[in-house]
């Protein structure tokens, strides 16, 4: 039981941690007859104000009958450590040395931990190494704090060495210290050193504990080494270190990530049979994974189990409702939505949005609007996404009047549809060939004060041109300019392509001439679009003439314009013209970038001009534009075009040696190229090589499927 005066002091400090005359009086009464260091430690441990602690510490020194000891110093140092007052701590350590008070590990442990929290890693390391200079050896607790700082700073090599030194010095690590290092190494994929560390522990009669086994299993599963994870589990069980809830969580989550749901479900069943209750998050993860893979029966069984155990959450309902909606099972989704309203979880905006989207998707627009009303009745306010989903659905169903009503409601609720949604409505009407209705709706938007921008005008112009109402499009354009809405590059593209597609070449050329006399930089993207369109229509001479005219006018054309023409020429089989255009580009002083080079590479390789492609790659290096992954992938595909799969594989090995990271496209080009030519055995061997390079299990599975699908055809 605390002395009455000490209780009075602690109560006063709890109310206000400030030095005062009344506090000093209470302290004087407390320590009038004797100055117990335990009482001082009790007070220092009860306060959080470091300045008050220092004042108290110094005040007591003035009392001649009191002398600080190791314990009072350590109590103050702990208080200062929480405040990161490193300067005062080092001063106290020096005072202890001057006064001949023995130093133990506690001040240094506090410093190392506090430096780590403050992210002052270098200072923590220096403190650890300075201990011997102060006549103090690190203890197991010191190593624990030090290793924790190193792991947090991702200095795993240093942490590993520190742990090794700890064992060599005779300090026995606790379970958390060992688990900290092993976990960090495993997360980093450094299983070799993690295993070496556990062997060192075993040699010192410190067998691995459950924390360490968990670290190995989790690390192996995240690294795609599920066989190693299972071996670790067997080893753990063999040593009678039984699985607990955390064990099963690691296994179930791990196999879910690897898309091995049979194993996940098996462990889940074992967990439940063993009387260990899964939590909601684990069940939700498993249900989501099962539904994603189309295993609805098992997912629903887990859903029912969760209901029995009271584990259902709003997240569970959202997952199942979303899946039902994706499967267009709108009736079942609606029933579950109604059940959710009775659970007490509160309405879910995500669930409502999913059911509304599903309803309009299956053509039940009236039901969607009624769900919106029910949603509001339950106190769940619709958000911008809700209105977007409903309006988009109504537009797709051609229910424009209903869409306008919802749009007005959306605006009335304070949501700003900006111009995106009105523009969608106008575009939808034009696609439905309801140009007059679109123009009427445009008028309504203006009357109601909706924002009208250049995109709105572009939508109207494009729609009118699409239905060959060119004169109206021109009038609308003139009105747009009169009202102060400046046409942009898209407007120009819309006009030119609209005229070209409707056969009005004279108007298109007239518009182009106007552009040539206006701002050059602003309209360069238009020319690229027009050149591309002309090429796709087979009008290569017109495209080349336009390019030459632009050059004559002094335009500084972008590489994109040349790349567009070259690509279209190659695609249409006019390889000679494409190569000539590339040479013209270079001769004109343009420096090709990697995109242009890759366009030429693709054309040369698909045309079977491998020698020219190789020459181009060499010239790229000389020009300082080094081949990238796309370049090599194009060359690989080119080798398959001429049935030189051996050179394709050799090129793949070359790009890996050069440090390029292959993509799924690169891998697929190789595997498909081999499979299509009946080289299934070579494809299998190549996949074995790819597995050593590509850690992503999903990519490995995709490539394996390519091979097995081809094998099944035989």
Of 312, 328, 354, the residue that ends a domain is 312
Query: Does the residue 223 lie in any domain?
Result: no
DSSP 3-state of 513 = helix
Provide the token pair at 298.
């098992």
Nearest alpha-carbon partner for 89 in 102, 71, 104, 108: 108
Query: Does the residue 69 lie in any domain?
Result: yes
Of 286, 312, 338, the residue that ends a domain is 312
Query: Does the residue 292 lie in any domain?
Result: yes
Q: What pLDDT is recorded for position 385?
A: 82
Query: Does the residue 36 lie in any domain?
Result: yes
Q: How far apart are CA 150 and CA 141, in angstroms?
A: 14
Q: How far apart are CA 242 and CA 236, in angstroms?
A: 7
Domain that holds residue 34: 1-102
Q: What is the count of structural domains for the chain?
A: 3
As a dihedral over the C-alpha atoms of residue 687, residue 186, residue 221, residue 692, rounded to 10 degrees, the angle is 0
Nearest alpha-carbon partner for 289 in 312, 269, 259: 259
Of 276, 297, 312, the residue that ends a domain is 312
Q: What pLDDT is recorded for position 442?
A: 85
Q: What pLDDT is recorded for position 14?
A: 66
Q: What pLDDT is recorded for position 707?
A: 87
Q: What pLDDT is recorded for position 500?
A: 65
Query: Does the residue 274 lie in any domain?
Result: yes
Nearest alpha-carbon partner for 155 in 118, 125, 177: 125
Contact present, 400 and 437 (Cβ < 8 Å): yes
Query: Does the residue 612 lie in any domain?
Result: no
Nearest alpha-carbon partner for 152 in 192, 112, 111: 112
Query: Does the residue 6 lie in any domain?
Result: yes
Nearest alpha-carbon partner for 88 in 78, 100, 101, 98: 78
Spans in the chain with pLDDT lower than 50: 1-2, 520-522
Query: Does the residue 81 lie in any domain?
Result: yes
């Amino acid at each position: 039981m605390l002395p009455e005066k000490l209780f009075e002091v602690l109560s006063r400090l709890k109310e206000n941690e400030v030095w005062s005359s009344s506090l000093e009086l209470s302290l004087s009464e407390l320590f009038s007859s004797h100055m117990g260091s335990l009482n001082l430690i009790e007070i220092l441990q009860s306060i959080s104000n470091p300045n008050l602690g220092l004042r108290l510490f110094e005040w007591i020194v003035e009392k001649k009958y009191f002398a600080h000891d190791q314990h009072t110093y350590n109590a103050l140092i702990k208080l200062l450590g929480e405040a990161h007052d490193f300067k005062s701590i080092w001063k106290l350590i020096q005072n202890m040395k001057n006064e001949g008070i023995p130093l133990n590990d506690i001040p240094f442990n506090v410093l190392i931990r506090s430096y780590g929290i403050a992210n002052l890693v270098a200072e923590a390391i220096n403190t650890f190494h300075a201990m011997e200079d102060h006549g103090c050896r690190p203890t197991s607790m010191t190593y624990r704090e030090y290793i924790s700082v190193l792991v947090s700073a991702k200095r795993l090599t240093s942490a590993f060495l520190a742990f090794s030194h700890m064992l060599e010095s005779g300090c026995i690590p606790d379970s958390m210290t060992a688990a900290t290092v092993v976990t960090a190494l495993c997360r980093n994929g450094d299983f070799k050193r993690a295993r070496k560390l556990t062997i060192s522990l075993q040699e010192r009669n410190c067998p691995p504990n459950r924390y360490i086994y968990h670290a190995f299993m989790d690390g192996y599963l995240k690294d795609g080494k599920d066989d190693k994870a299972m071996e670790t589990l067997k080893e753990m069980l063999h040593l009678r270190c039984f699985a607990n809830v955390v064990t099963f969580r690691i296994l179930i989550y791990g196999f879910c990530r690897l898309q091995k749901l049979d194993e996940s479900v098996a462990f889940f069943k074992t967990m439940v049979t063993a009387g260990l209750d899964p939590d909601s998050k684990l069940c939700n993860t498993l249900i989501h994974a099962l539904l994603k893979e189309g295993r609805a029966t098992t997912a629903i069984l887990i859903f029912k189990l969760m209901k029995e155990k009271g584990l259902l959450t709003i997240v569970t309902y959202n997952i199942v409702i979303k899946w039902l909606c994706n499967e267009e099972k709108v009736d079942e989704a609606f029933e579950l939505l109604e059940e959710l309203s009775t659970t007490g979880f509160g309405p879910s905006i995500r669930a409502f949005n999913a059911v509304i989207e599903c309803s309009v998707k299956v053509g039940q627009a009236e039901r969607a609007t009624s769900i919106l009303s029910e949603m509001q009745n339950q106190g769940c306010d619709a958000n911008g996404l809700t209105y977007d989903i409903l309006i988009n659905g109504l537009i797709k169903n051609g229910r424009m009047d209903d869409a306008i009503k919802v749009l007005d409601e959306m605006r009335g609720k304070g949501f700003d549809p900006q111009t995106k949604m009105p523009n969608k409505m106008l575009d939808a009407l034009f696609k439905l060939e309801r140009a007059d209705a679109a123009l009427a709706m445009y008028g309504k938007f203006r009357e109601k004060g909706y924002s009208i921008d250049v995109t709105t005008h572009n939508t109207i112009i494009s729609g009118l041109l699409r239905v060959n109402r060119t004169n109206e499009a021109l009038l609308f354009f003139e009105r747009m300019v009169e009202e102060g809405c400046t046409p942009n590059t898209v407007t120009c593209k819309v006009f030119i392509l609209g005229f070209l597609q409707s056969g009005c070449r004279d108007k298109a050329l007239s518009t182009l001439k106007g552009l040539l006399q206006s701002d050059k930089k602003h309209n360069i993207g238009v020319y690229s679009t027009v050149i591309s369109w002309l090429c796709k229509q087979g009008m290569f001479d017109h495209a080349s003439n336009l390019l030459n005219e632009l050059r004559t006018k002094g335009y500084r054309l972008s590489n994109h314009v040349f790349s567009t023409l070259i690509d279209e020429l190659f695609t249409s089989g006019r390889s000679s013209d494409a190569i000539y255009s590339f040479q013209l580009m270079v001769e004109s002083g343009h420096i090709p970038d990697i995109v242009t080079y890759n366009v030429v590479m693709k054309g040369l390789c698909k045309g079977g001009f491998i020698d020219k492609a190789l020459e181009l790659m060499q010239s790229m290096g000389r020009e300082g534009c080094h081949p990238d992954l796309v370049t090599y992938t194009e060359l690989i595909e080119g080798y398959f075009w001429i049935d030189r799969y051996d050179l394709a594989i050799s090129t793949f090995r070359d790009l890996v040696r050069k440090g390029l990271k292959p993509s799924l496209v690169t891998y697929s080009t190789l595997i498909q190229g081999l499979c299509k030519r009946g080289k299934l055995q070579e494809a299998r061997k190549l996949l074995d090589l790819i597995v050593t390079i590509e850690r992503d299990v999903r990519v490995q599975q995709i490539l394996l499927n390519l091979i097995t699908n081809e094998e099944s055809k035989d």
